[in-house]
Amino acid sequence: MEPEQKAPLDGQRAFAYISRALSAREHSSIEMRDSLLRKGYAPEVAQAAVSRAVRCGIIDDDRYAASFLRSKLSCGWSLQRIARELEQQGLDIEAIDGSPDECVVQDEFERALDILSRHHSHSKDPYASCVRYLMGRGFSGDVAHRASKAHLSTAS
């Protein structure tokens, strides 16, 4: 009879784990399912716990995506990189209410210039340093090159 009793306990433990994890920060349903699987929970137990958390409103992929978008924009990530990361979570940046229009007040070029205004490089090749810095944040090569040229022409 022990195996019969173990399954409900595993489900309760998995749900409790989700609750604790979400008290620290938002997570997507895919993140939580994968985390439970890494912890050794059976796939059906992990999926059942995640489904229960979604029904209870503890996990909300739309809320997670909006939070992720705002957080990464404030860190200087490009929209392209944010969209890629959300896509890996099975989420679509365009599905976020008002997104990205509501959160982004500048176009990518202006955002890149703004980010470079706070970047200080002591490199022998400041142009290459600026381009690498922007591309590391997910900006396209075109935006990184144009913004770096514009930034360096105004800085000198």
Helix (H) or strand (E) holding 120: none
pLDDT band at 10 (very low <50, low <70, confident <90, very high): confident
pLDDT band at 156 (very low <50, low <70, confident <90, very high): low
Q: Where are the beta strands (DSSP E) in the chain?
A: none
**What end-to-end distance do the CA atoms of the chain give, in Å?**
78
pLDDT band at 94 (very low <50, low <70, confident <90, very high): confident
pLDDT band at 5 (very low <50, low <70, confident <90, very high): very low
Q: What amino acid is encoded at 48 in this protein?
A: A
pLDDT band at 95 (very low <50, low <70, confident <90, very high): confident
14 pLDDT above the threshold of 80? yes
Render 1-17 in DSSP notation, one character per residue.
-HHHHHHHHHHHHHHHH
